[in-house]
Structure 1
């Protein structure tokens, strides 16, 4: 076994070795008792010829005491208290010393036995050898009890000049017994170490089997969910496209059909994005950037974006901000993009599942000094069992989710994201009354909320405000065409660069309002191109930059560290692009203000 393996097994193995040694010694206790019982008639026969035969009664009394102590020890070893290694060690030592005391008494009795002196002392030495053998499994017991048991007979033999030959013989026998016992102890320790290693390997294997089983279930649920959502979404889109192509004699699709197909595509993209985030978080590769947040502004913005959908269902939307948050100093701490993602999911669920009534957002400070953002609705509500199921990945509550698209990952992912930001996601609900989901975030009373430099008019966020001249770096022609179509739909002018190096050259000589840079390009990739633009002289270094990535958390971190103001993940949608443009522009303005200050 290598040194690394030894280090790995040492913490658990040390205790396990001692327990195994004590278990082996405890298992030998009945056999030790049998050995003494079998030897007793021989001792009685030899002792009957001793000059002080009456003192043999003391040996019987001590023998009975040792047997009682052994019985008590064996009974105690069957109790839960025996799991305490220190207490168990003391019991073994004390029980062994009781038997060593018996041997010492036999030696004292033999020392005054007259003609039977040497015979009885050699029998006492044999009893000491028995003690040495039966304490061999555990080294401390061997060294303490074995030495104590051998001391009495050897001292008595060496104390008389008439028994020097017998003393030498006894000393040799005891030394040999100790040598053999130490060899046995070493062999047993090696066996115990192998057993301990085997226990660890079995535990690790069981853990890996459970982990593999959990991953297999997760992948199975993922495939089942995605196949269902993709099949439904693409089927609707294919029908509309078939009608648009005039196949099977169908008329051109209506505006309602086109709108339904667009909704299906949007839902499908949302499912894919949520699934990718959930898998990335499950693998531990999801990164967060903790900083002060303008939570009231963020909640108002999300409620404003959801107002058309709520209005179509006749739902009332409201926002309440506690005075200490609205007027007092301090700010919540979290990752802006992830907090927006969690709240967008909670607000979207509230509007999606509420048929009539209202959805309210409430912001307050908890007694512990944390920010609580609650999203309450008058929807169908959930029982305690259903509420627990709602947080399980790929699980949807059948009573409330029938006919509603989704992967069943929103709440599970939101809880993971909240924990990554040292926050918490809470939930209370009652069937027929409604639900209230809360996001708890850390609060810094000395932090300053960022200036809200995003457009006040929501139309600006959807691309209907100021028209921008945008530099787009994308090496894939199909992706470039799709991105150009989205940006031009938002009313912006696009200049396309085939790679990162060309984008840097264009940023150096031309004036742009914004840059969209793909994260992975040949030659000069996204992070390198972003860093190169930031290193330019003049206003070009402050150009707002959006990194367009494929969904990997490490790629997003590289781009932001290189200087990107916002991250946009593929596949893109019009809403996502508009929001990324607004976020990048606002972040760039804040950076310029800080630089001037």
Structure 2
């Protein structure tokens, strides 16, 4: 009797600890989301400064340091948010057609400036891949970004080689570096959440990155492994299932002059993001008005005609989906105004937004090319 009572008490205590841990993770993710929203605006402003005439001489060095610091903070918040999405069986992105060669080249290309700044080479070997396959490109990109980022961060001289190939129904990817390597006793800890290595070679960050890589890859039926020798470098390899796809990938339209200048209403509660979005739209030749929340956006659309609305999904007073529903209930032609969703939740939220009735979706931080394409496509529907 006493044994059963003790077991019940122990089980109850364990469940309470698990519930408290889950609640703490939810609060942490909520805080991370709030942090990432202004950070995405800051990242875009730093990008604009980096290519402006203001960034010259010593000032350019400061801007580049700031850009790197902002990128590191965004990476940490992304890790925290990605962990939450994976725990909820989200975050893998949709299963869709993609070009494996283009994905690998584009992902490596983002890291190439950082590698070059350290005097490292960054090579991509991806010959013989099919034009496109069907799989989880969002997940593959995030895994590859993490592995390349680690390789650049922990390699002092030499370089990194990214290799991609297709073996039957699997896409095989490896990231090899010429870094210091990893101590044998540390290898079993690499994919554990929050683990810091005894050797200190890959210490730092949240300790979540590699755990997220393994969790995401295994959830789609893939595998990941690591091979390392102290003083000779490290190789990470992963394999994910893909299916063949047929046909030609649609061409991505480059940014440039809009088909016609539009009157666009931007519903965005973050002042930094309003400045950034306005600057991008101005470059396209559009006329821009702003609303600070969903309710004021609906009110503005009741008073004026707009060709298109850019709507942040999470706003005070009335969030994006609720504001969209209110717009669709307006009398007359204004109910059919194209509405494009904007969100810092990443590409994996696209399907949900489109399912809610938005005409298109653009992830933050805003890629001008993606925004241009979404506006051009949505404005053809009006």
Whether the TM-score (by the shorter chain) exceeds 0.5 is: yes
Please identify the structure whose Cα radius of gyration is greater: 1
By percentage of residues, which structure has more strand? 2
Q: CA deviation at 1:281?
A: 2.8
The 1-side partners of 2:302 and 2:267 are apart by: 14
Q: Which residue of 2 aligns with 1:383?
A: 183
Cα gap change, 1:361 to 1:587, in 2 (>3 Å): farther
Residue matched to 1:517: 311
Partner of 2:69: 264
CA 1:381–1:524: 2 relative to 1, 3 Å: same
CA distance in 1, matches of 2:227, 2:268: 48
Higher RCO by CA contacts (8 Å cutoff, separation 6 or greater): 2
CA drift of 1:274 comes to 1.9
Deviations 1:156-206 (A, max 9, x none): xxxxxxxxxxxxxxxxxxxxxxxxxxxxxxxxxxxxxx9998698467436
Structure 1 Cα separation of the partners of residues 109 and 278 of structure 2:
24
RMSD, aligned α-carbons: 4.7
Of 437, 443, 446, the residue aligned with 2:242 is 443
Q: Name the CA shift for 1:535/1:356 in 2 (closer, same or farther; >3 Å).
A: farther
Distance 1:427 1:568, change over 3 A: same
From the superposition, tell whether residues 360 and 488 of structure 1 become closer, same or farther in structure 2 (CA, over 3 Å).
Answer: farther
The runs of 5 or more residues in structure 2 that have no matched partner are 33-38, 40-57
Structure 1 position 333, deviation (Å): 0.6
Farther off after superposition, 433-442 or 293-302: 433-442
Are positions 1:288 and 2:93 aligned together? yes
Q: How big is each residue's C-alpha offset from its partner over 1:335-393, in whole Å with a ceiling of 9 and x where there is no partner?
A: x43332222222222222222222222221235x2111222222222234323322222
Q: 1:439 to 1:502 in 2, by over 3 A?
A: farther
Query: Offset of 1:531 from its aligned partner?
Result: 6.5
Alpha-carbon offset, residue 287 of structure 1: 6.4
Per the alignment, residue 194 of structure 2 pairs with 394
Q: CA deviation at 1:297?
A: 0.9
Against the structure 1 CA distance between its residues 305 and 286, is the aligned structure 2 distance closer, same or farther, given a 3 Å change threshold? Answer: closer
Query: Take 1:277 and 1:435, find their aligned partners in 2: how far apart are those partners?
Result: 25
Tell me: CA distance 1:279–1:310, structure 2 relative to 1, closer, same or farther (3 Å): same
8 A contact 1:568–1:577 mirrored in 2: yes
* Counterpart in the other structure of 1:55: none
CA contact (8 A) 1:331 1:448 kept: no
Alpha-carbon deviations, 1:58-81, whole Å to 9, x = none?
xxxxxxxxxxxxxxxxxxxxxxxx
Partner in structure 2 of residue 485 of structure 1: 275
1:418–1:424 contact (8 Å) kept in structure 2: yes
Which residue does 1:372 correspond to in 2?
Answer: 172
1:13 is aligned to none
Q: Does 1:273 align with 2:78?
A: yes
Distance in 2 between residues matched to 1:299 and 1:198, nearest whole Å: 57
**Offset of residue 395 of structure 1:** 2.5
Aligned length: 344
Aligned to 1:326: 130
Structure 1 stretches lacking a partner, 5+ long = 1-193, 227-232, 234-252, 570-575
Q: 1:361 is matched with which residue?
A: 162
1:310 and 1:504, CA in 2 relative to 1: closer, same or farther beyond 3 A? farther
Tell me whether 1:208 sits opposite 2:208 in the alignment. Answer: no
Distance 1:275 1:505, change over 3 A: same
SS of residue in 2 equivalent to 1:326: coil
Deviations 1:30-71 (Å, cap 9, x if unpaired)? xxxxxxxxxxxxxxxxxxxxxxxxxxxxxxxxxxxxxxxxxx
| In 2, Cα distance between equivalents of 1:391 and 1:557 | 30
More helix by share: 1
TM-score for the superposition, normalised by structure 1: 0.47
Q: How far has the Cα of 1:254 moved from its partner?
A: 4.5
Match of 1:473 in 2: 266
- Whether 1:568 aligns to 2:363 is yes
CA distance in 2 between counterparts of 1:332 and 1:384 reads 37
Specify which of 222, 227, 246 is matched with residue 423 of structure 1: 222
Shift of 1:592: 11
Which of residues 98, 113, 134 is equivalent to 1:308?
A: 113
- Distance in 2 between the 1:416 and 1:587 partners? 32
How do 1:245-260 residues align onto structure 2 when only pairs under 5 Å count? Answer: 254-260=59-65
Q: Is the 8 A contact 1:292 1:332 kept in 2?
A: yes
CA distance in 2 between counterparts of 1:525 and 1:217 reads: 25
- Alignment match of 2:147 (pick from 346, 364, 370): 346
User: Structure 1's 215 and 524: CA in aligned 2 closer, same or farther, altered over 3 A?
Assistant: closer
